[in-house]
Amino acid sequence: MPPNLVQAALEGVREASQAGPAGGYPLEDIDVTVLSIETREGAAPEVGTKIAASNAFRAACRDAGPSLLEPIMAVEVVVPEEFLGPVIGDLNQRRGRIDDVSVRGVNKSIHAKVPLQRMFGYSTDLRSLSQGRANYTMQFAEYDTAQAG
């Protein structure tokens, strides 16, 4: 294949991957193989190749059934035992998955995985639930398939 057409095809794929199949979310960690390129006489081969590659990439993405991923945070909440129930309930409402509840001195330590999107405003809510006596830390844990809502 002529290098200028290969470059045009890859540019078309690169541009299409920035919008992604869901529109607005770029694709990550993908491999693309260009198997062949056909041209027609009288047509602008670079422009046509770029457009065709972009359209072929979008069609392949639709057929592949891609998933939207969201960041999941590892959260540790240290809370007095008297506030344990409401704090666990709040984490559950945030689609949190409680991994462990243990003793830390006179307090309880809750380890959970919670979608980052659901953690906005958590410090204010946690202070309200625990009369300001609980604290938390969070760090990135993994990506998981995003859920609607």
Could you give the domains of the chain?
3-64 (no CATH), 69-145 (3.30.70.240)
> What is the C-alpha separation between 54 and 65, in angstroms, rounded?
17
0.95 exceeded by pTM: no
**Could you tell me the sign of the dihedral formed by the alpha carbons of 14, 19, 22, 27, in that order?**
positive
Per-residue pLDDT band for 80 (boundaries 50, 70, 90) equals very high
**What percent of the chain shows pLDDT beyond 70?**
94
Average pLDDT, the chain: 89
* pLDDT over 90 (residue 73): yes
Per-residue pLDDT band for 43 (boundaries 50, 70, 90) equals low
> How confident is the model over 132-148, as a mean pLDDT?
92
> What is the C-alpha separation between 111 and 91, in angstroms, rounded?
10
pLDDT value for 139: 98
Per-residue pLDDT band for 29 (boundaries 50, 70, 90) equals confident
Q: Is 137 helix (H, G, I), strand (E, B) or coil?
A: strand
